[in-house]
Structure 1
Amino acid sequence: MPPPPNLDPDAAAIAAAIAATPPMRERGLAAIRHAMETTPLPAGLPVMASTEDHLIDGRWGEIPLRVHRPTPDERAPVLVYFHGGGMCLGSNHSFEPLARHLAHHSGATVVSVGYHLAPESPPPAQFDDAYTATLWTAEHAGELRVDPTRLAVAGDSAGGTLAAAVALAARDRGGPAISCQVLAYPGLDRDMAARSMSQHAQAPILSRDDVLFLNENADAGRGHPDSPYRIPAYAADLSGLPPAIVVTAECDPIRDWGERYAHRLRDAGVQTTHTRYPGTYHGFLAQSDHLARGRLAVAEIGALLRAKFTHPLPF
C-alpha cells in the first residue's frame, strides 16, 4: 500500500522501503524481536560521559536498568525512561538511541528500564517494573549522583502508557515526587473507534491491525484491562498530576488517544504542552537518526525538560 500522501519526504521514503514488510501478525513476536535486537546501533549517537548497567529486584524478577549520563555533573536531573514496543517488544539495547538523544538534549541522566515483556510476563508486570524502577531511582539518587527533586518520567508508545501510569500511581500512593511526565504517541486507551484509527488504519510502522495484535499479546490472555495503571484513559480523575509534555504524530492510528488525554489533563488543571508533529508516523522519535521531524521533536522535548528542571514552576 502506498504511503500517506502527506508524509514528509524522508518519512515517505522509509515508508516506501518497508511497504512490502508483512504485518506484525504474520511476522510474529519472535521474528520482530530478533530483528530489533540484532539491528546495529546507528553511528554518530550522542557520546555519554558514562553508561552503566544495573540489575534491581522486582516482583517479577530482576529488572535491568541502563543509566546514561550525558555529563559527569553531580546531582543532575534524572529522567526515568520506558521504551516502546506494545509491552511485548523492545529493550534497553534496541531503544538506546532514543535514550541517548533524550539525555543529550535534556541534560538529564536517563535511567532506561528494561521491564519484563508480555505475554511471557503477564500484566501487571510491566507497570510493576516501571513503578519499582522509578521508586528505586528516587531512593538511590545519591548512588546515581542525581537530584531526586528533579525526577521526570518519559516513554514512547507503550512506554508513554507506563510513564502516565507511573505518574498516576505516584499521585495515588504518595510518591515518588515526579516533576514532569513525557508521553510520546502513548497507547493510553483501547478505543478502536477513534477517528484516527480509521483515518490511519494502514499507516506505516503501526497499522490498526498491528495495534490489535500487540494488545492481544499485551493482555496475555487476562481479558480486557480495567485498571488505570494499565490503561490510563480509564482514570476518572487526572487532577494533581505532574506537568505533561504530550507528543503525537499526524499519521498514527493511536494519535487521538494521546490528544484526548492531553485535553483531559488540561481540563483537570494539569499544565500540559501538546504538539502534533505533521508529516510523520508512529515511532518517529526512535527514528530521529533518519527523520528530520524526529530530530526536531527530540530537541524540543529536551528544551522543555531543561526549562522544567531549571524552573520548577509549571510551564
Structure 2
Amino acid sequence: MATPTYNPAVEQPIWDPDVAALIPPRGGRSGSLRAAGVEGARRMLESIERPAGPRMRSIHDATAEGPHGPIPLRIYRPPAAPPENAPALVWTHGGGMIMGSLHSFDRLARDIADATGSVVCNVDYRLAPEHRYPVANEEAYAALCWLVDNAAAWGVDPDRIGVGGDSAGGSLAAATALRSRDQNGPAIAQQVLFYPGIERRTDRPSMREFGDSPFLTADDIDWMKNLYLGDDPGTDDAYGVPALADSLASLPPAVLAVGYGDPLRDAVEAYGDRLRAAGVPTAQLRYPGMGHGFAMQAPSVARARAAISEVGALVAARFR
C-alpha cells in the first residue's frame, strides 16, 4: 500500500512543502520501526539533531516518587509564566511507549511552555518492553499528583494544572484524565492532546489511506501497541486504551490537534466527537499537509510552528 502524493478530491498535494522535504526519495521510508528493533528505534530518535528551542526563565530537574520507583522530571518555566501561581501542564512525551526521553523531547517541551505561557513538567516515564502496561500510565498519574502536592514549591497554581502529551503521550494524558475522574483524584484544568494514540489500530478511512505513511505506519502501530499492552486486545481496559471508556462525561476541557495525513486522524476526531457529545468543551484542530508527529517537526516546518502557536493560544486562554 503506497501513500498517495495527491488528494484526488481536490487535486492538491497531500503534504505541506516543508513536510514533503522531510520525506525520503520515492516517498518511502528508510525502514520500518519493527525492522529497526527497539534499540534501533531509540537510537534513531535520540540521534536527531534539533535546533535549540525557545529560551526559558529556568529549567530544573526533579524527581517524583512513583509506584515503580523514582520518576525523573524536568520543569520548564517560560518567561511569560509568573514566578508564583503559574498555570502548568504535566506533559508526557510520544514515542509509542517504547522510545523517547527528556533529551529527545526537550525542544517540544520548550515549544509548549513558550506557546502556552505555562510551566511544563516533562515526565520521563519508564518505557516498554522492559516496563509494560500499566507502568507508564501509573507514572503519568503519579507525576500529576506530585505536581499538585508540590505546587507551591514550584510556583504553580494547583487549580490550574492540566495534562498534555503527543502521540503515545497524548494517550497517557487522556488516560490520566480518565483515572483522575474515576478515582476522585486531582481536578485537572484541561487536557491538551496532540495526535493521541487513544486506540489500537482500527479500520478507519485515514488508516486505510495513510497506513503506509512516511511518518507512521499501521505496522508501527501494531508493533508498538503490542510491546506495551500485550498481544491480546481482550485484556485492554480504558486506561491503556482510552477509546474503550464507557463514558467521557465530566472530563476536563480538551484541545485535540491532528494532521490530515495522520493514520490516527479519524480515531482522534472520533474521540473528540465523543467528548463534545458528553458535554466536554472540546476544540478539534485538523492541520492540512501535516502527518503524524508534526509538533516534533516544528524546527523545519512553518505550519507545525503555527499549529503549536494556535494550540498554545487556546490553552493560555483557557488557563486564564
Aligned to 2:47, which of 20, 28, 38? Answer: 38
Aligned: 1:98 with 2:108:
yes
CA RMSD, aligned part only? Answer: 1.6
What is the CA-CA distance between 1:219 and the residue it aligns to?
Answer: 2.1
Equivalent residues of 2:5, 2:15 under 8 A apart: yes
Paired position in structure 1 for 2:33 = 24
What is the CA-CA distance between 1:225 and the residue it aligns to?
Answer: 4.1
What is the CA-CA distance between 1:220 and the residue it aligns to?
Answer: 4.5
- How many Å separate the matches in 2 of 1:138 and 1:266? 27
What is the CA-CA distance between 1:2 and the residue it aligns to?
Answer: 6.9
Classify the secondary structure of the residue corresponding to 2:66: coil
- How many Å separate the matches in 2 of 1:258 and 1:159? 13
Give the counterpart letter for 1:4 in structure 2.
T
Paired position in structure 2 for 1:4 = 5
What is the CA-CA distance between 1:20 and the residue it aligns to?
Answer: 4.3
Paired position in structure 2 for 1:183 = 193
- How many Å separate the matches in 2 of 1:51 and 1:10? 30
- How many Å separate the matches in 1 of 2:200 and 2:165? 18
Cα 1:263–1:52 change in 2 (3 A) is same
Aligned to 1:252, which of 262, 282, 302? Answer: 262
- How many Å separate the matches in 2 of 1:304 and 1:60? 34
Classify the secondary structure of the residue corresponding to 1:67: strand
Give the counterpart letter for 1:230 in structure 2.
G
Classify the secondary structure of the residue corresponding to 2:160: strand
Give the share of equivalent positions with the same residue, in percent.
Answer: 44
Give the counterpart letter for 1:219 in structure 2.
L
Aligned: 1:264 with 2:244:
no
> Structure 2: any 5+ residue segments left out of the alignment?
7-13
Paired position in structure 2 for 1:236 = 246
Aligned: 1:74 with 2:75:
no
Equivalent residues of 1:52, 1:66 under 8 A apart: yes
Aligned to 1:58, which of 53, 57, 66? Answer: 66
Paired position in structure 1 for 2:226 = 216
What is the CA-CA distance between 1:39 and the residue it aligns to?
Answer: 3.1
Classify the secondary structure of the residue corresponding to 1:134: helix
> Structure 1: any 5+ residue segments left out of the alignment?
311-315
Equivalent residues of 2:175, 2:239 under 8 A apart: yes
What is the CA-CA distance between 1:53 and the residue it aligns to?
Answer: 0.7
What is the CA-CA distance between 1:191 and the residue it aligns to?
Answer: 4.1
Q: How does 1:269-308 map to 2 (within 5 A)?
A: 269-308=279-318
What is the CA-CA distance between 1:41 and the residue it aligns to?
Answer: 3.7
Aligned: 1:160 with 2:170:
yes
Equivalent residues of 2:3, 2:210 under 8 A apart: no
- How many Å separate the matches in 2 of 1:149 and 1:224? 37
- The normalised TM-score by structure 2 is 0.93
Q: Deviation string for 1:183-233 (max 9, x for gaps)?
A: 111111124212211111111110111111111212246765421111111
Paired position in structure 1 for 2:206 = 196
Classify the secondary structure of the residue corresponding to 2:22: helix
Classify the secondary structure of the residue corresponding to 1:154: strand
Aligned to 1:87, which of 91, 97, 102? Answer: 97
- How many Å separate the matches in 2 of 1:187 and 1:298? 18
Alignment: residue pair count: 309
Q: Deviation string for 1:73-111 (max 9, x for gaps)?
A: 222111110000111110111111111001001110000
Give the counterpart letter for 1:12 in structure 2.
A
- The normalised TM-score by structure 1 is 0.94
Paired position in structure 2 for 1:205 = 215
What is the CA-CA distance between 1:172 and the residue it aligns to?
Answer: 1.0
Q: Deviation string for 1:255-302 (max 9, x for gaps)?
A: 111100000000000000001111110000111111112101100111
- How many Å separate the matches in 2 of 1:248 and 1:9? 18
Give the counterpart letter for 2:223 in structure 1.
F
- How many Å separate the matches in 2 of 1:225 and 1:84? 23
Classify the secondary structure of the residue corresponding to 1:264: helix
Q: Deviation string for 1:148-204 (max 9, x for gaps)?
A: 111111111001101110111111111211111011111111242122111111111
Aligned: 1:145 with 2:155:
yes
Give the counterpart letter for 2:105 in structure 1.
F
